Amino acid sequence: MTVLGLILCVLLPRRFARRASELSYEAKQKQAVLSDIAEENINIQPVIKAFGLENRAVNLFRKNSSELARTTLRFGFLSYLVERLPNVTILTFEILVIGVGLLLVFYGYRTLGTLVAFHAVFLNISASVGGLANVMPIILQSMGGMQRIEEVLAERPKVLDAPDALELPEHSRAIEFRDVTFGYAGEQANLDNVSLEIPYGTFVALVGPSGSGKTTALNLILRFYDPASGAITFDGKDIRRVTQASLRAQVGVVFQENVLFNISVRENIRLGNPLATDAEVELAARAAEIHDFLINLPDEYETNAGGRGARFSGGQRQRLALARALVRNPKVLLLDEATSALDPATEAAINDTLLRVAQGRTVINVTHRLSTVACADCIFVLDRGRVAEQGRHEELLQRKGLYTRLWQKQAGFTLSEAGDHAEVEAARLRGFPILSQLGENVLSELAGQFVTERYPANRRVIVEGDYGNKFYIIVRGKVLVTVNQQDEEEKRIAILQDGDYFGEIALLKDVPRTATVRTVVPSIFLTLERAQFALLLQHAPNLRESLLSEYLARSLRSQELPST
């Protein structure tokens, strides 16, 4: 009977233990989702407040926390069963053993001493089984966490060093793209058969419309991804045949949005080169022209940067990020829209610094703002994943191709150093189709009617369904245009940048907006209200209908709905 009881102590909880283990894993997954929701909502408070998303955020958190509570309750109940079943089984068989033993003693088949001795042994065994049962809930709870950890550890990186990978020698000649093709999704190519050469020590720029493959090229140089076909070489060596560590040791990078860690400024800079001495850290800060500012702080280089560098302005964070890149003493410096989110004065100052630190190293600058790279040794113009043009600024303008169109789109604007006032030239207004039929006098008068508006990042400029009365020109910045689907999900229509425009139909008709426009980075607009435009059109009564007809015809030809 005792042997049977011990077997049941093991077998009965097994079924519940298996299900409890599954629920433990499920609970860990739901905890991760809930943590992500909480962290996301804390980090994007301005967006939630600006868009009135408080109820959505609360409801989403409540829904996921309720699901977690239900899963945790089921897991707790099953783990409690796993713990208690062996104890209940042991107690049941203890009663049976004592009862049967007393009967055997009563009828003389066993002595009382034998029963007492056997019961003592039984208690020792049951105590061991009970001790094991008591720790089972803890084991079951940890199994879910261990399974999650094992899944992460089992993940294989998409980019691995080759088994025979060598150290990359010091870069000294050229970086080459040789018929490189790559696509993130595998179907549509973000780079299509791209070939280009970047000689060592030159300052080059990658420019082009949004989605043309500029940032993708930098990601491939850094080996965040590998090309689907073709090769990228440093001095003739395919970077897939060298170690990632030796490649990245020769590269410094400054992103558009650089995160500073919640540690001292000195340690933030030293992250670029953990072996750097204090003198080397300060030398990098001097090169980035942030040293004088830092030594005037109360704690100087020991000043804590705060979460994500919150204690510093955008320009200061970019200079610290540049210092972090320079402390590596890189042979190649990559800049990915490094100044696009800064005000004009700060951008100009940092661009001057970049030109100075570019001496003696290769600099590859990805930007959509052409005025910052007019002095580049070579400009590669990308369009739909291909190199459409290449050459110096003056050469490209003479060809009157894509680069010229991009340059003309961004030209004709004047912006104050503080970025609080913008103006547009009358000749530039003629480049907008809806204004192209206006005479010189009207355009000159109209140019003075535009008002400067500034928006921070992640702010809605116009909302789908609202009635609009303004026409917008992007002087500086980037916006995302989206429309709502039937399932209430947003579909991205376009990304607009410097020199683009939206909301033109609002100058002619009082109709609802057909899309939502949201800023991606801090943006500066010139806006014109319908009432001001209507006053100008009073001098030409027939012009309004002509403009409206032209606008609708253009929309039909492109087979697209008006974007706003």
The one-letter amino acid at 437: Q
- State the average pLDDT over residues 251-257: 84
The pLDDT value recorded for residue 493 is 83
The pLDDT value recorded for residue 136 is 66
Domain spanning 2-154, CATH architecture: Up-down Bundle (1.20)
3-state secondary structure of 361: coil
H/E run at residue 287 = helix 278-287
The pLDDT value recorded for residue 51 is 53
Q: Give Rg (Cα) of the chain.
A: 34
Question: What is the band of 198 on the pLDDT scale with cuts at 50, 70, 90?
Answer: very high
The pLDDT value recorded for residue 134 is 66
3-state secondary structure of 211: coil
The pLDDT value recorded for residue 548 is 61
202, 268 in Cβ contact below 8 A?
Answer: no
Is the pLDDT reported for residue 560 higher than 50?
A: no
Q: Which tokens hold the place of 119?
A: 């019961």
Is the pLDDT reported for residue 112 higher than 70?
A: yes
Nearest Cα residue to 247 out of 356, 162, 180: 162
Least confident among 41-50, 154-163, 253-262? 41-50
The pLDDT value recorded for residue 552 is 60
Alpha-helix runs per DSSP H in 327-401: 344-357, 393-399
3-state secondary structure of 264: strand
Q: Do domains 174-398 and 414-557 have the same CATH topology?
A: no
CA distance 422 to 520: 20
- State the average pLDDT over residues 277-287: 89
CA neighbours closer than 13 Å in the CB half-sphere of residue 168: 27
The pLDDT value recorded for residue 561 is 40
Q: Which tokens hold the place of 104?
A: 């055997």
**Fold type of domain 174-398:** Rossmann fold (3.40.50)
Q: State the virtual CA torsion across 39, 43, 44, 48 in degrees, nearest 10.
A: 60
The CATH label, of 2.40.40.20, 2.60.120.10, 3.40.50.1000, 3.40.1350.10, for the domain at 414-557 is 2.60.120.10
Higher pLDDT, 337 or 551: 337
Least confident among 7-11, 162-166, 252-256, 433-437? 7-11
The residue ranges of every structural domain in the chain are 2-154, 174-398, 414-557
For residue 266, what are the CA distances in angstroms to 18, 162, 525, 543? Answer: 51, 35, 38, 63
Is the pLDDT reported for residue 177 higher than 80?
A: yes
The pLDDT value recorded for residue 558 is 44
How confident is the prediction for the chain on average, in pLDDT? Answer: 81
- For 180-209, give one letter per residue: b (16+ CB within 10 A) or e: bebbeeeeebbbbebebbbebbbbbbbbbb
The pLDDT value recorded for residue 130 is 67
The one-letter amino acid at 541: P
Q: What percent of the chain has pLDDT over 90?
A: 14
pTM for this model (two decimals): 0.70
Encode pLDDT of 475-530 as tens digits: 988 898 888 876 556 788 888 888 888 887 777 777 788 888 999 888 899 998 88
- State the average pLDDT over residues 244-261: 84
DSSP of 1-64, one letter per residue? Answer: -HHHHHHHHHHHHHHHHHHHHHHHHHHHHHHHHHHHHHHHHHHTHHHHHHTT-HHHHHHHHHHH
- For 133-164, give one letter per residue: b (16+ CB within 10 A) or e: beebbebbbebbeeebeeeeeeeeeeeebeee
| Residue found under tokens 């032209």 | 550
217, 177 in Cβ contact below 8 A?
Answer: yes
- Most confident range, picked from 88-102, 305-319, 399-413: 399-413
CA distance 559 to 539: 32
Nearest Cα residue to 185 out of 216, 147, 145: 216
